[in-house]
């Protein structure tokens, strides 16, 4: 699915409800909540934090769901501000390419 | 661009460097750093925190770049764990649809 | 209780267990998890996110517990790195006083 | 310094300005910004992320300042909601003691 279509799908989903998009800082707090849950799952996968309860999902599936929850929250904020994520992602690749060209060692394919 | 292709593009970008993907908890800390910068921009746009320095970008562009930085960090974690974001996003839509069907008031189109 | 004594109390509590302090990036992910839960409670108190389940605690008490959970996680990181929080808090007050002296309008007591 | 006195000192500092405490969700976003900066410093100390610019402070001092910045932000939220952090910290110790008593292996002093 195109990233643009994902933004539209989220928009359609949100707009079926009267409440619509929350105020930006509320959406941001919701994003942080998802990021926190993602951190818990990574900690659990990396061996430091035992899980409290059994979960019928595999650890990788739980992680996948938390990543997608986080992505959904992020898209909501982008939609609210009418930000086209794909075009800014292009700019990020440009920024990283010029900034990090000399920060990391490139693999030697010679 | 398809979300799958974005994941591949990030993967190709990361793998050109010897260091490759960082350990998961380091990637998570980097994600949180981006989320923090996103919070600062939303606070600034919503009027509560004055900017310290002039920035040649418009506020909306700065926000777009922070959103894309955050998305990039998220995709890195997904790639490291070989998570297909699109398939989990489908599951999130299903989850929200069953969970939130009665939590929010639907618009009345009658 | 003195902040120094709080740091000691946390240290004593952690060191009773064989596992001791987690690696720093794990403690950081745990801190973010707490911050995310704090965000959920603030969103709930400010009216944007309905609570899923009834909780026997009052909303203010839930918030107080999340704030204290976050503080505990923060003190763990400080202790691991042998950071005296009080002395750095003094420096923060100095920094804010010189930086923000002209950023905000002072109340007029004349 | 007593934690109660730290809360009062922060309160006095904030109240000298007309703007006073920001709305809770703005204070929360500011907290997340500080947590993100803390994550960057931990990543830097743990060896994964190179620093972009030279800083006259030692790495441990930078970390201490980020921890104190985060604590300051946390105290602002507590103050706004009139939460006494020390009393809730007592409850956290009780909660952890009953919950984690069997979750971790205690050191054997026999």
pLDDT at A30: 97
How many domains does the structure of chain B reveal? 1
D35 vs B26, B36, B42: nearest CB: B36
Please provide the DSSP assignment of A6-41 as one string. Answer: HHHHHHHHHHTBTT-SPPHHHHHHHHHHHHHHHHHH
Q: How far apart are CA D45 and CA A92, in angstroms?
A: 25
pLDDT at B57: 84
Q: How far apart are CA D71 and CA B68, in angstroms?
A: 29
Residue B110 lies inside a defined structural domain of this protein: no
pLDDT at B106: 79
Residue with tokens 């609210």: A80
pLDDT over 70 (residue D51): no
pLDDT over 70 (residue B52): no
Residue with tokens 């003094």: C90
Q: Do residues C88 and D67 touch, judged by C-beta distance below 8 A?
A: yes
pLDDT at D109: 59
Residue D41 lies inside a defined structural domain of this protein: yes
Residue A45 lies inside a defined structural domain of this protein: yes
Among residues D81, D103, D11, the alpha carbon closest in space to that of C65 is found at: D81
Residue A19 lies inside a defined structural domain of this protein: no
How much is the pTM?
Answer: 0.92
Q: Do A37 and C33 touch (CB under 8 A)?
A: yes
pLDDT at C33: 98
Judged by DSSP in three states, A106 sits in: strand
Owning domain of residue D28: 22-85
Q: Which of C23, C25, C53, C96 to mutate to test the interface with B (most CBs of B within 10 A)?
A: C25
> For residue B44, what pLDDT band results from cuts at 50, 70 and 90?
very high
A25 vs D26, D50, D103: nearest CB: D26
D25 vs A26, A50, A103: nearest CB: A26
By CA distance, what is A36's nearest residue in D? D32
Residue D45 lies inside a defined structural domain of this protein: yes
pLDDT over 70 (residue B40): yes
Residue C39 lies inside a defined structural domain of this protein: yes
% of chain D surpassing 70 pLDDT? 88
Per the prediction, chain B carries an average pLDDT of: 90
Residue with tokens 């606070």: B43
pLDDT over 80 (residue A8): yes
Give a three-class secondary structure readout of C31-68.
HHHHHHHHHHHHHHHCCCCCCCCCCCCCHHHHHHHHHH
Residue A43 lies inside a defined structural domain of this protein: yes
CATH of the domain at D58: 1.10.287.1080
Q: How far apart are CA D39 and CA D46, in angstroms?
A: 10
pLDDT at A50: 64
Q: Do residues A78 and A85 touch, judged by C-beta distance below 8 A?
A: yes
Residues in B closer than 8 angstroms to A96, CB to CB, are 13, 72
Q: Do residues B3 and B92 touch, judged by C-beta distance below 8 A?
A: no
Return contacts of A56-63, CB within 8 angstroms, 24+ apart. Answer: A60/B81, A60/B82, A60/B83, A61/B88, A63/A38, A63/B81, A63/B83
Min mean pLDDT across A13-17, A56-60, A94-98, D106-110 is at D106-110
Total count of residues recorded for chain A: 110
pLDDT at C27: 97
The first and second tokens of residue B79, run together, are 């790639």
Residue C54 lies inside a defined structural domain of this protein: yes
pLDDT over 60 (residue A101): yes
Residue with tokens 């993967």: B11
Q: How far apart are CA C74 and CA C92, in angstroms?
A: 16
pLDDT digits (tens, 9 = 90+) for B57-69: 888 999 999 999 9
The ranges of chain C with pLDDT < 50 are none
Q: How far apart are CA D47 and CA D42, in angstroms?
A: 9
How many CA atoms are closer than 13 Å to the CA of C20, on its beta-carbon side? 5
pLDDT over 80 (residue B101): no
pLDDT digits (tens, 9 = 90+) for A56-86: 788 899 999 999 999 999 999 999 999 999 9
pLDDT at B51: 64
> For residue D96, what pLDDT band results from cuts at 50, 70 and 90?
confident
The first and second tokens of residue B2, run together, are 């398809």
């Amino acid at each position: 699915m195109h990233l643009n279509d994902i933004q539209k799908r989220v928009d359609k989903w949100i707009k079926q409800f009267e409440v619509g998009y929350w105020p930006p800082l509320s959406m941001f707090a919701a994003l942080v909540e998802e990021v926190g849950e993602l951190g818990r799952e990574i900690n659990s996968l990396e061996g430091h934090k035992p899980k409290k309860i059994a979960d019928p999902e595999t650890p990788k599936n739980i992680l996948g769901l938390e990543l997608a929850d986080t992505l959904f929250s992020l898209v909501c904020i982008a939609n609210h501000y009418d930000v086209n994520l794909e075009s800014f992602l292009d700019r990020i690749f440009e920024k990283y390419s010029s900034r990090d060209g000399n920060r990391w060692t490139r693999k030697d394919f010679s």
